[in-house]
Structure 1
Amino acid sequence: MPPMSPVSAAPASATGAQSGAQVSCAATLSAPTREAAFAAAARDTGVPEPLLKAVSYMLSRWDDHSGRPSADGGYGVFDLSDRTPGPGTDADKGRVAEAKSQITRAAELTGLTADALRRVPNAGVCGGAALLASYQRENPRRDGLRSGGGDLAAWRDAVGRFGAGHDFVRQVYQTLRGGESRVTADGQTVTLPADESVPLPPAETAAAPDTGCPEDLGCEAIPAPYAKLTPTDPDNTTKYGNHDIADRTGSGGPKLDYIVIHDTEGYYDPSVRLVQDPAYLAWNYTIRSSDGHVAQHLDPKDVGWHAGNWYVNMHSIGVEHEGFAGDATWYTESAYQTSATLVKHLAATYGIPLDRAHVIGHDQVPGTVAGATKSMHWDPGPYWDWDHYFELLGAPIGGGRAATTQVSAGDVVEVRTGYQDNRQPLTGCAAASPPSPECVPGAGTNFLPLRQAPSEDAPLAADPGWKPSGEAGTTYVSDVSARVVSGHKLVVAEVRGDWLGVWWAGSLAWLHNPADRPVVLQAAAKTVTVKAGATGPAAVYGRAYPESAAYTGTDVPVQAVSPLEYTIPAGQTYAVSDDDVVTDYYRATSFDGSAPGDRTDVTGQDRYYQLWYAHRQVFVRAADVDLHDARPSALVSTAPPVVRGVPWVGRRLTASPGAWTPSPKKIRYQWLRDGAKIRGATGRAYHVTGRDRGTRLSVRVTASAPGYESGAATSAATAPVRSPWHRHRHSHRHQRHHR
């Protein structure tokens, strides 16, 4: 949506402006760009322009989202909410009860209608600025507004009231110090210069229970109950909730290996009420969308029931985010940043790898037995921005490597889909994720489709676990049959032009990797194939449970090792995401842990590998497959070689090697005449000879570095080689013609 149109810039008749407004929005409404709108709103409200930009960035990254609501129901670049917040808990400092919603209050302050504040980008800018200014006027501790700027530190209380807490305030002031600049989804360039002189608010120092959070995150404790469902039942009852006692952060086990990213499929307040219900189920943390506020419910040492797979529950921390998987809404920057800060801290504390095989979506959790996959969850859904999230984690997908088309059969590639400009069609949002609206065309997505043949017209790939009858995938929002999500690793079986044939769910599927926008990166990963000499395919599992002998002497009943619907047929290869999987089973069936074998972690000797398989992570027994070492990644050309000089006989041409990732240690040159090698021409410079007359010259550069396969790239060809005397004779005729 453009920043302003003649209609939305018009006065009261277009925006429904009301009399009695305290702020005039005329200049902001008529601003030609979002950058200019921030400047105008700052002048008209007295809010420092940098502060306006910083608050807005934390709420929306300056995107307007074309009138769509955010995950918490807010609108526009200031995420103005329709809901009236109630008071927070003691731990939720800064969140005060408001008599009116932000949109209602902004409408009163500006005279604009609620509809204009939701749908007109510059109206939202003015409304947010007016609201922030009103909070400052009503702040009993204010140092006073200063025209055209003011002391930024004096606005902390107002910022806290806007974003509902101390954590949000720190994020805003960190943004002021560090600066930001980006191009929004609708093409608006907005820049906030860094200002390191801005003081950060002090970290929250109030005493609070240990929540497992970083010290400066200010997490709130809202404990999940561990209770009998019927209080009069004996302590050894098996009817209890809503989690299990364990020693995952100590020596008792099981070990923490995963962090599972969920969305709540609801709003924050009802979600935290649910987690306090003994008859429901528990997860570890909930993150509020409006300001990134974090509530902890479960100590990481204990086992939540959030993943729908007991093995994954045993080994994971569950983090819920306010929002809906099927809604093309947007998670606020504050929520992304807080979540990333929390997850990065948890990963470092418990040794969990920061990669897409261990920081996973609920949609990547496998079923437990054959037939269970089709009932697994699909959150956080196609609208969660994995690329941005892993940038915030400090572990960008692909490790900063350039995407490439230089791919061969046998390569392992990592997919990087993009988000903002990756707009895949989706259907069925309202039905799959009520109360979501219908899917919004043009919304950013986190996946790419796979097809059954190398053509955009071919049916989508099939997933026999998700759709046991074998039909093709669809665009239905919850149908993950044919969706490869950012960070996924695939093994290439075949290359046909812009299409890569990859192994997917037991079949060959095709990924489009266009030359003008490649979506894969060379990746190093171990791979597996069916064991040599095997008479059938290798079974695939949703749990890495121990062998029967491991239960001897434990009082723990043997747990069946049951395969899923999937197999690895002969001739297919899949990428390994973890070759050191814990083989274990944690027993927990009674409230007081008195049942035979309860609170015991049985570990086995049977070895498993974790794989990228279809949309999920699965396991395969090491005894059933051959493990192959990772092929070294090749160097990738990020800018082609260039030939410099005039292509005339007798002249000297030189080659620039272009740019490569990673940086090469050695460069080799081979000059080409009409694409064929010129014998002995292997230096950076080439002397043009008579043999070259009428041909086109180019240079092929081969780059190498220790630990990588060599990469090669060829320059563009020169114009046809000419003799200098042709040029001189033409020049003389031209001069005589003008005498």
Structure 2
Amino acid sequence: MAVALIWGSATAGNARPSDATPGGFERAAEQAAAEFGVPKEVLLGVSYESSWWEANDGRPSTKGGYGPMHLTDTTSGGAYAHRPGEGPVDTTGTDDPSEHTLQAAAAMIGVAPRTLKRDELQNLRGGAALLASYQRQITREMPLDPGSWYGAVAHYSQASDTTAAGRFADGVFEAIRSGRQRVRKDGQRVSLPKTPSVRPTRSQLASLGLRTSAAAAVPECPSELNCRFVPAAASNYQVSARKSNGMDVDFIVIHDLEGSYDGGISWFQDPVSGVSPHYVMKADGSEATQMVATKDIAFHAGNYWVNLHGIGIELEGYAAQGPTWFTPAQYKATAALVAYLARRFDVPLDRKHIIGHDNVLPPRPARAPDAHWDPGPYWDWEKFMALLDADHRLEREAGGAESGGNIGIGQAVTIAPTYGKNPQTVTVCAPTCRTQTQPSNLLYVRTEPRDDAPLVSDLALRPDGSAGTNHIDDWGSTVVWGQEFVVADVRGDWTAIWFGGHKGWIHNPAGVNTRLAPNARIVRPASGVKSVSLYTTAYPRADEYPRGVPASEQTRFNVYTFPQGQAYVAARTPVDADDFFPATPTRPEVVVTGDQKYDVIQYNRRLAMVNTAETGR
């Protein structure tokens, strides 16, 4: 009864904060620590590393963790509709104990699991109880010295290998030794005073019986780059063994931060963000920071299957502020890194594999309006690909194809406007709206061959079929340098391409904005197939997953069509249907490979997947 009076219970609706007065969270943490014999510094350090002391209104992280102690709760038995890095986690998962620490903690303190999700006081108690149970397993005693809790803290991470567990514990003890201060979203200021005298007992890590894993001790960068390694938050990526485990790297994805270099790195170190790239590039080209080992899966593309096969690079800068953010030094440094990665992972140097975030379809149609469109219209793809020598190589492969020339229906063309001679007008609203006209990497796609014709409509963005706009974030009616499409018609200065299920027209006088692509691989609906299904991912069939591993949902983009009579350009080689599940303390990592193959096609501004069983050439 006394416990109930002290700790209260959850209220319906929003998560319940510790209280509205300054210091309420700290007092709650102090009481929880004292109740279960955990040093207060350890409890606050674990909470800081797990959630930055936030309750997040009772919402789960992308790892399925709740509250300031990030107690996990997933339920086995359904298909994965959401995967890590794609947004809100769903309520499905495996039966592994590492995914159900909330239930274990609830049983220890005698409180319903749903209460721990929404009442941060009970959440703190549950986390303290778990830490105490882990400590007893290691030392069979409850020491007052925070450093003697290193093994329990490493265990709390639920990591499956010594590298990840040690990284989490090192982060906690760095916070304890150096101190931390933060103002929570509810206005409370929380402090963890520095205690530099604490010496963590790292030898306890060996007692956990975890697998060993090679860490990225030094950054994976070409010798000409000034490169360092700063690890992202452990919850913002998954430990893997690409490509030795059979998972190929097929894409290198270019992003921009919409912010500063240091601010971006700090954000990716925040477990609340739920995202991370592999690399961050400074605007002046003077430094690169690797945050996730290339063997591991960073959450950067907003599409888990693309994350499985991608390496993400974030550029310091803003997509809407023009080319001044993308300096020559940044182009050169990024090109050096991409060339290095492409050699290591056999990634083709073309725009079906060296892509922008704007080329990645979101995992579900409902997410299309929020899909990212970076690096934006002012990233000079022509300049960048030339630095990779890809432009010259493609010309050699195409037999010296140049801009212009005779364009015929059914041929493939590469979108190739000269950046400096391609001014385009866009509307930028941030927050007031203005128009700006300057050199750009894009062309507008219209419904008819005339300048005043409406822009094509993307039904994922506009279910009512209304016309597209020239707003800078309206990606549904533009094509970008380097993309390849099949010619559907030619009228005067206008060329029609098959684009997003439509015949879309681009202004192309004398072929100045395109280049013939005679070696492009063109796919069409197979005989007898009325319309090819389009997907955002390439997962195996549900019956191909082993027992105990939930099938991921292979999402069909039903608003898009690929009917008979249309044709699209595909990557040179189809990809296997596959999926991945990271190792847990009781199970090694799982790679699931299906017997189906998918073509990655240039469908509109973004890439889409089509089953090769439905297509022909």
User: Which interval holds the TM-score relative to the shorter structure?
Assistant: 0.5 to 0.7
Instruction: Report the equivalent of 1:411.
Output: 411
Say which SS state the counterpart of residue 467 (structure 1) adopts.
coil
Q: 2:525 and 2:266 mapped to 1: Cα distance? A: 48
Q: Does 1:367 align with 2:377?
A: no
Q: Partner letter of residue 512 of structure 1?
A: H
* Number of matched pairs: 394
Indicate how the Cα distance of structure 1 residues 439 and 319 shifts in structure 2: closer, same or farther if over 3 A, else same: farther
* Identity of matched residues, %: 36
Instruction: Report the equivalent of 2:248.
Output: 255
Instruction: Report the equivalent of 1:211.
Output: 219
Say which SS state the counterpart of residue 349 (structure 1) adopts.
helix
Uncovered stretches (5+) of structure 1, i.e. residues with no partner: 1-207, 227-240, 629-739
Q: 1:320 and 1:439 mapped to 2: Cα distance? A: 26
Larger Rg: 1
Match of 2:498 among 464, 480, 503: 503
Instruction: Report the equivalent of 1:616.
Output: 606
Does the CA-based 8 Å contact 1:292-1:339 persist in structure 2? no
Q: Partner letter of residue 576 of structure 1?
A: A
Does the CA-based 8 Å contact 1:266-1:323 persist in structure 2? yes
Does the CA-based 8 Å contact 2:285-2:332 persist in structure 1? no
Indicate how the Cα distance of structure 1 residues 302 and 516 shifts in structure 2: closer, same or farther if over 3 A, else same: closer
Indicate how the Cα distance of structure 1 residues 501 and 279 shifts in structure 2: closer, same or farther if over 3 A, else same: same
Structure 1 stretch 354-363 or stretch 466-475: which is displaced more? 466-475
Instruction: Report the equivalent of 2:533.
Output: 539
**Equivalent residue runs for 1:435-584 within 5 Å:** 438-441=434-437, 443-515=438-510, 517-534=512-529, 536-553=530-547, 555-564=548-557, 565-584=559-578
Q: 1:429 and 1:356 mapped to 2: Cα distance? A: 29
Does the CA-based 8 Å contact 1:257-1:316 persist in structure 2? yes
Q: 2:248 and 2:357 mapped to 1: Cα distance? A: 19
Instruction: Report the equivalent of 1:97.
Output: none
Indicate how the Cα distance of structure 1 residues 406 and 584 shifts in structure 2: closer, same or farther if over 3 A, else same: same
Say which SS state the counterpart of residue 396 (structure 1) adopts.
helix
Q: 1:211 and 1:516 mapped to 2: Cα distance? A: 44
Q: 1:325 and 1:316 mapped to 2: Cα distance? A: 21
Match of 1:601 among 587, 591, 600: 591
How big is each residue's C-alpha offset from its partner over 1:679-719, in whole Å with a ceiling of 9 and x where there is no partner?
xxxxxxxxxxxxxxxxxxxxxxxxxxxxxxxxxxxxxxxxx
How big is each residue's C-alpha offset from its partner over 1:260-281, in whole Å with a ceiling of 9 and x where there is no partner?
0000010111111111222322
Q: 1:456 and 1:542 mapped to 2: Cα distance? A: 32
Instruction: Report the equivalent of 2:287.
Output: 293
How big is each residue's C-alpha offset from its partner over 1:18-40, in whole Å with a ceiling of 9 and x where there is no partner?
xxxxxxxxxxxxxxxxxxxxxxx
Instruction: Report the equivalent of 1:223.
Output: 231
**Equivalent residue runs for 1:68-467 within 5 Å:** 209-226=217-234, 241-249=235-243, 251-280=244-273, 281-330=275-324, 331-396=326-391, 398-399=394-395, 401-431=401-431, 438-441=434-437, 443-467=438-462
Indicate how the Cα distance of structure 1 residues 316 and 382 shifts in structure 2: closer, same or farther if over 3 A, else same: same
The alpha carbon displacement at 1:337 in A equals 0.2
Say which SS state the counterpart of residue 440 (structure 1) adopts.
strand
Q: Partner letter of residue 407 of structure 2?
A: V
Does the CA-based 8 Å contact 1:285-1:295 persist in structure 2? yes
Does the CA-based 8 Å contact 1:385-1:419 persist in structure 2? yes
Q: Does 1:587 align with 2:581?
A: yes
Does the CA-based 8 Å contact 1:258-1:317 persist in structure 2? yes
RMSD: 2.0
TM-score scaled by length of structure 1: 0.51
| Bigger share in helix | 2
Give the number of the structure with larger relative contact order, counting CA–CA contacts within 8 Å between residues 6 or more apart. 2
The alpha carbon displacement at 1:438 in A equals 4.5
Q: 1:575 and 1:314 mapped to 2: Cα distance? A: 23
Indicate how the Cα distance of structure 1 residues 370 and 291 shifts in structure 2: closer, same or farther if over 3 A, else same: closer
Indicate how the Cα distance of structure 1 residues 517 and 252 shifts in structure 2: closer, same or farther if over 3 A, else same: closer
Q: 1:303 and 1:344 mapped to 2: Cα distance? A: 20
Q: Partner letter of residue 613 of structure 1?
A: Y
The alpha carbon displacement at 1:548 in A equals 2.4
Q: Partner letter of residue 218 of structure 1?
A: N
Q: Partner letter of residue 509 of structure 1?
A: G
Q: 1:505 and 1:440 mapped to 2: Cα distance? A: 27
Indicate how the Cα distance of structure 1 residues 323 and 438 shifts in structure 2: closer, same or farther if over 3 A, else same: farther
Q: Partner letter of residue 534 of structure 2?
A: V
Say which SS state the counterpart of residue 604 (structure 1) adopts.
strand
Uncovered stretches (5+) of structure 2, i.e. residues with no partner: 1-215
Q: Partner letter of residue 403 of structure 1?
A: S
Q: 2:526 and 2:423 mapped to 1: Cα distance? A: 40
Does the CA-based 8 Å contact 2:403-2:514 persist in structure 1? yes
Say which SS state the counterpart of residue 291 (structure 1) adopts.
coil
Instruction: Report the equivalent of 1:695.
Output: none
Q: Partner letter of residue 292 of structure 2?
A: L
How big is each residue's C-alpha offset from its partner over 1:400-433, in whole Å with a ceiling of 9 and x where there is no partner?
631124011110111102212211000024249x
How big is each residue's C-alpha offset from its partner over 1:576-628, in whole Å with a ceiling of 9 and x where there is no partner?
1243213101123xxx61466x62110111111110101011100111222x1
Structure 1 ranges of 4+ moved more than 6 A:
none
Does the CA-based 8 Å contact 1:405-1:513 persist in structure 2? no
Indicate how the Cα distance of structure 1 residues 224 and 501 shifts in structure 2: closer, same or farther if over 3 A, else same: same
